[in-house]
Amino acid sequence: MLSVSPVFFYLFAGLAIACSLLVVFKKNPVSSAFSLVLVFFAFAGIYALLDAHLIAAIQILVYAGAVMVLFVFVIMLLNADAPSLDIARTSAALKVAILAGCLAMLAFFVVAFKRMSPPAPLGPYTAEAVEAAGGNTRVISQLMFSEYVLPFELTSVLLLAAIVAVVAIAMRNAKKPGSAGKEA
Amino acid sequence: MENLVTIRPELLGLATVELEALSPHFAVLGGAVLALVLSVVRWLQPKWSVFLVSVATALLGATLSFPGLSGAALAVFNGMMVVDPYSSFFNLIFLLSALITLLISFRYLDSEKLQHPEYYVLVLFSALGMMLMASARELVVLFIALETMSLSVYSLVSFRRADRRANEAAMKYFILGGAASAIMLYGVALVYGATGTTHIQAILERLASRGAGESVLFSVGAWLIVAGFLFKVASVPFHMWMPDVYEGAPVPITGFMTTGLKAAAFAAFVRVFLSLGYGKGLSEAVETNLHHILWVCAVMTMVVGNVIALTQTNLKRILAYSSIAHTGYLMVGLIAAPRGTEGYSSLLVYLAAYAAMNLGAFIVLTLLAGKGDAGLNLHDLSGISKKNPVLAFSMAVFLFSMAGVPPTAGFVAKYLLFYSAVQAGEVPLVIIAVLCSAISVYYYLRVLVYMYMRDPIAGATSARVPVWSVMALASMVIVTLQVGLLPSPLVEMARKAVAGL
């Protein structure tokens, strides 16, 4: 398996980068959204290569499935077809600045990670230990409900706050501003 | 190889003592949920019931936080959270600023014709996020807490939906805040990769024992986390969002952001900063390079904040830039803290004093604000002292305090902060800070000149001041002067709070 993975890695990585660029440069938001789906699939492939099958499955189910469906719904409901950042109409100086910024960041990460030896796993969750305890999926689900129960529960608080926040923003659209305050 | 223990039922229960320690958090969460339920019970007048429940929740939470000030540190949930004097100190700042914000919001929401219940619920949720940030000892919990706070505040900023500036501000804040959160999360992932843990204490231990601090992975991760925090505290060069957001948000929320949000960001910043090994000499990337980066950021923050504030004519924007400048002073304290004898306590005193005087100033602003937050230009303040001597006097106290004139809280806080920085050998930094705060006197006093030495503009009527606001205002004036005259109780509290860090 290790002998094939470099080829597949470059395949998936290339696909991810190419599609990410399409997300940014496509003028039609729907095509951008569908390019993003491909990016998520490519990521799922990379996760699967890393033996993280659960994350790969979640990536496809949650991101490519649920999140993207919402994106497409929103785009269609808002009928957002006007390109917000038209790359052809931006000034030359801005183009150069964007390009320079991207290259600088790329150079920074290349230099930073070239100098780095691959990190040895320091925590208790080494590949062998996880394998012995019954595999990734079992370990993750058990940890989520014992050791990491606090972040798990707090996530539901976060989601509740997010729902209230979204409803508070959306509700005022339904009524005339002002009438809501008196009724409530 | 030892077997992994993944099922640990003992982590799922909470002992009585742990429940007691967590009571402020449970109170605020319970209060927020109760308020949410009440907001759909029509026959109970949600406007009033939710307001009263929220106010009671904030009061209850603050009361329950008091015992924690002198208690011992107690780690809960497998060390992911800790309840110690440090977190209790911050809980008090958060809940009291939430309380004041709630008290002054009622009339504001009425006059702006905004809906009430969700506003109060969101204030409580953001306060809960802040409390969790100050208690978090694990980076994942910290991140979730940060997002709970931020999401609520994004929505609060956009509350004046009909106003174009409010929409622009909320959009800007949301997108930039989201990007900053992503950067911070990436940093957390890299630090996890370098050290194999997200527990703040364990990161420090692994840095010390295995030399992980020298790895490039760790340095990049640490810098990205710090960059995320610099955005949250609005330090230059990550300050661009702040003036617009402060101007677009409802006035009481602007006050809440300058006090609660800033204190929460600094509370978490200090904990993470310690975990990255700053001041421990473990990693050169953090010890020297990060020190220099923060040094430059602190100087730029102070200079940019103060100089741009000179040119502003809108009170909200003046206070926004002054808030950036105060972030700069706080960063001076942050840089110097590990090497001074006072440690982080001067930072805590400064945050508490700043919260009092800034909340006070925003109470006055809320009372002066006209429809659509108009009437907050310097010109509109002309001759306020003749029509409304109480408001003018209180504003004068708060402005003197921000400028750092004795006998106010601002003077004591600045003195302690700069003194500890001098002790730490940061003399050039302190000289710049003092010069910058001399600049700041100009724009604070300019407001006073308008209030006291100009003739009132014709046509303006003096606003009716509700009793809630008078109480809030009076308490802030008292706190500001009291800390200025007798600072030792607060300083003692802060010393106790940082003792266990």
β-bridge partners, B76: B81
HSE (CB half, 13 Å, CA atoms) of A165? 25
Which residues of chain A lie closer than 8 angstroms to B145, CB-CB? 154
Q: Is residue A114 part of a domain?
A: no
Query: Could you count the other beta carbons within 10 Å of the beta carbon of residue A144?
Result: 13
Domain termination residue (choose one: A82, A112, A137):
A82
Whether A149 and A74 share a structural domain: no
Give kind and range of the element (H or E) at residue B81.
Answer: strand B81-83
Average pLDDT estimate for A172-177: 50
At A41, which CATH number? Answer: 1.20.120.1200
Query: Are B130 and B264 in contact, with CB atoms under 8 Å apart?
Result: yes
CB B182 within 8 A of CB B212: no
What interface predicted TM-score (ipTM) does this complex get? 0.89
Task: Say what the pLDDT of residue A91 is.
Answer: 80
Q: Verify whether the Cβ–Cβ distance B216 to A112 is below 8 Å.
A: yes
Rounded to a whole number of angstroms, the distance from the CA of B205 to the nearest CA of chain A is: 12
The residue in chain A having the minimum alpha-carbon distance to the alpha carbon of residue B159 is: A169
Predicted local distance difference test score (pLDDT) of residue B211: 65
pLDDT in the model for residue B223? 87
Q: Does residue A118 fall inside a structural domain?
A: no
Q: How far apart are the first and last CA of chain B?
A: 34
Residue B83, strand partner residues = B74
Mean pLDDT, to the nearest integer, of A64-79?
84
pLDDT of residue A176: 47
Closest among B389, B356, B395, B393 to B376, alpha carbons compared: B395
Per the structure, the count of domains in chain A is 2
Instruction: Decide if A107 is inside a domain.
Output: no
Element (H, E) at B294: helix B291-310
Distance CA B377, CA B393 (A): 18
A12 lies in some domain:
yes
Tens of pLDDT along B41-90? 888 888 889 999 999 999 999 999 988 888 888 888 888 899 999 999 99
The verdict on a CB contact (< 8 Å) between B141 and A154 is yes
If asked whether residues A68 and A135 sit together in one domain, one would say: no
d(CA A160, nearest CA chain B) in Å: 9
Span A151-170, mean pLDDT? 91
- Residue A87 pLDDT: 60
Chain-centroid distance, C-alpha A106: 19
Q: Among all residues of chain B, which has the CA nearest to that of A119?
A: B194
Do A59 and A133 reside in the same domain of the chain?
no
Together in a domain, A74 and A151 = no
By the CB < 8 Å criterion, does A107 face chain B? no
Q: Is the pLDDT of residue A88 over 80?
A: no
What is the rounded average pLDDT for all residues in chain A? 80
Query: How many contacts (CB atoms, under 8 Å) link A and B?
Result: 148
Residue A174 has pLDDT above 60, yes or no: no
By the 10 Å C-beta count (0-12 exposed, 13-18 middle, 19+ buried), B456 is classed as middle
A177 close to B (CB below 8 A)? yes
Token look-up 């109470």 returns: B363
**A109 lies in some domain:** no
Check CB contact of A170 with chain B, cutoff 8 Å: no
Task: Record the tokens describing residue B193, joined without a space.
Answer: 């990769």
Buried-state track A39-50, b at ≥16 Cβ within 10 A, e below 16 = bbbbbbbbbbbe
pLDDT in tens, chain B (501 residues): 456 777 777 777 788 888 888 999 999 999 999 999 998 888 888 888 999 999 999 999 999 998 888 888 888 888 889 999 999 999 999 999 999 999 988 888 888 888 888 899 999 999 999 999 999 999 999 999 999 999 999 999 988 888 888 888 999 999 999 999 999 999 999 888 888 888 888 888 888 776 656 677 888 888 899 999 999 988 888 888 888 899 889 999 999 998 899 999 999 999 888 877 777 766 676 778 888 888 999 999 999 999 999 988 888 889 999 999 999 999 999 888 887 777 788 999 999 999 999 999 999 988 888 777 777 888 888 888 888 888 889 999 999 999 988 889 999 999 999 999 998 888 999 999 999 999 999 999 998 888 888 887 765 555 667 788 888 899 999 999 998 888 888 888 888 888 877
Sole residue written with tokens 């009481």: B252
B6: nearest CB among A143, A154, A182: A143
pLDDT at A61: 92
C-alpha B114: how far from chain center: 25
| Mean of pLDDT values over A123-152 | 83
Point out the residue among B77, B116, B159 whose CB comes nearest to the CB of A149.
B77
Residue A96 lies in a domain: no
Q: B115, A172: Cβ pair inside 8 Å?
A: yes
Buried-state track B203-238, b at ≥16 Cβ within 10 A, e below 16: bbebbeeeebbebbbbbbbbbbbbbbbbbbbbbbeb
Which residue in chain B has the smallest CA separation from A108? B220
Separation of alpha carbons A153 and B14, rounded Å: 14
Q: B342 — phi, psi (to 5°)?
A: -80, -15
Model confidence at A126: pLDDT above 90: no
Range of the domain at A77: 1-82
Residue A108 lies in a domain: no
CA dihedral B335, B336, B339, B344 (to 10 degrees): -90
Q: Are residues A132 and A74 in the same domain?
A: no
Query: Residue A68: inside a domain, yes or no?
Result: yes
Farthest CA pair distance, chain B: 83
